[in-house]
Amino acid sequence: MTQPLKIGRYEVPYPLIQGGMGVRISGGSLAGHVARCGGVGLVAAAGIAMNSPYFDGSNYLQADPEALKAELAKAYRIAPDGVIGVNVMVALADFEKLVEAAIEGGAKVIVCGAGLPLTLPGLTTHAPDVALVPIVSSLRAAQLIAKKWDKGYNRLPDAVVVEDPDTAGGHLGEKLENIGNGSYDQYATVREVKAFLREEYGRDIPVIAAGGVWDRADLLHALEQGADGVQMASRFVATEECDAADSFKRAYLECRKEDIGLIMSPAGLPGRAILANQESIVMYDQIHGTFCGNGCLKKCSYKESGERFCIVSALDRAQRGDVETGLVFCGTNAWRADRISTVQEIFDELFAEEAVEEEAA
């Protein structure tokens, strides 16, 4: 039997957070339905302005906060009492504005990765009920964040997500040369982070395992290894409620294990994606003379020198359905998707056995 997951002041029946998938893959629809089913639903803030009614093609940074609040409102219409939050990448140029917009939009949880969110508690002092959750891949990163938050803000994380760079999708918080070489032990890191928080601060703070979690066996393994819950993202893409276009979902259904690999993002971070169309992604910007008109990232090689490609545009094209020239981020298990299901069906598969046991009791 699994236990409910408590993050700060909020508790959900099932120990599951839906991972944030940027540029409107996990928007209000997916986040709302996950929350309605008893997990934590997250709207990804990265690129949320794209393909929104607030974006006119030239006002990206102005449209971003309004688009985020609109997606949160959509999620709450689906799950009025649900635990709904946002994932905000630290690497975003408007990180601070998006954190503020998340609070204004009623986010109960703010999850931050792609950099160390060292200033996050200072941005949320006026909203102490909002749970703050950093994403790390190492004990050292968790220690840096906890010590900075404690000393500077008298605040500790309400939970910590430990992401496995060997299996997770999208942007990864590890150097390219360290990914997949067999040196990383996710669950050792989970246990180390839990022990550090307990020994240093006397607190049992939930530690969530992210990356490679697909089915109930993966979930139970994570819990057996010391995690308090799991974060799942790729599994929710091939659902009716996912905010991506149908062709994006079909890319998961049609991909093979060997189609999934690593790229270097212009953000300066490795990313995991379906690789079959990498040349077409780069060629699109060259053919169309794309230039950086959005400035979505604090650091971006495409913005600075034209190197690689415009990542927000590539992700936006894929989200809208152009999987020929668009970038399809995914985790290592995306190839396991074999049909379009529903969020409820996934929860039933993960937790139905517990419902049967409760009825029998």
Tell me if 332 is assigned to some domain: no
Task: Say whether both 56 and 12 belong to one domain.
Answer: yes
pLDDT tens track for 161-204: 999 999 999 999 888 888 888 889 999 999 999 999 999 999 99
The mean pLDDT value for 307-329 works out to 89
Tell me if 331 is assigned to some domain: no
Give phi and psi for 113, each to the nearest 5.
-140, -160
List beta partners, residue 326.
Answer: none
pLDDT tens track for 265-294: 888 889 999 998 888 887 777 777 777 777
pLDDT for residue 357:
54
Task: Say whether both 123 and 264 belong to one domain.
Answer: no
Tell me if 326 is assigned to some domain: no
Tell me if 167 is assigned to some domain: yes
Task: Say whether both 122 and 195 belong to one domain.
Answer: yes
Task: Say whether both 132 and 253 belong to one domain.
Answer: no
The mean pLDDT value for 141-167 works out to 97
What percent helix, strand, coil does the chain show, rounded to 5? Answer: 40, 15, 45
pLDDT tens track for 214-249: 999 999 999 999 999 999 999 999 999 999 999 999
Task: Say whether both 285 and 180 belong to one domain.
Answer: no
Question: Roughly what angle, to the nearest 10 degrees, separates helices 343-360 and 28-37?
Answer: 10
The mean pLDDT value for 26-45 works out to 97
Structure tokens at 347: 């929860």
Indicate which CATH number applies to the domain containing 165: 3.20.20.70
Structure tokens at 212: 């490679």
pLDDT for residue 175:
83
pLDDT tens track for 73-96: 999 999 999 999 999 999 888 999
Tell me if 327 is assigned to some domain: no
What is the band of 355 on the pLDDT scale with cuts at 50, 70, 90?
A: low
Task: Say whether both 82 and 102 belong to one domain.
Answer: yes
Task: Say whether both 73 and 128 belong to one domain.
Answer: yes
Tell me if 128 is assigned to some domain: yes
Task: Say whether both 133 and 162 belong to one domain.
Answer: yes
Tell me if 110 is assigned to some domain: yes
Task: Say whether both 182 and 314 belong to one domain.
Answer: no
Number of domains in the chain: 2
Tell me if 303 is assigned to some domain: yes
Tell me the three state secondary structure of residue 229.
Answer: strand
Distance (Å, rounded) from C-alpha 337 to C-alpha 333?
A: 8
pLDDT for residue 361:
45
What pTM does this model have? 0.94
Structure tokens at 30: 């997916």
* Domain around 210: 5-243+339-360
Percent of the chain topping pLDDT 70: 97
The distance in angstroms from the start CA to the end CA of the chain is 12
Asked whether residue 32 carries a pLDDT value surpassing 60, the answer given is yes
What is the band of 141 on the pLDDT scale with cuts at 50, 70, 90?
A: very high
Task: Say whether both 11 and 90 belong to one domain.
Answer: yes
Q: Average pLDDT over the chain, rounded to whole?
A: 92
Task: Say whether both 94 and 211 belong to one domain.
Answer: yes
Distance (Å, rounded) from C-alpha 284 to C-alpha 316?
A: 13
Task: Say whether both 213 and 286 belong to one domain.
Answer: no
* Residues 6 or more apart in contact with residue 304 via CB below 8 angstroms: none
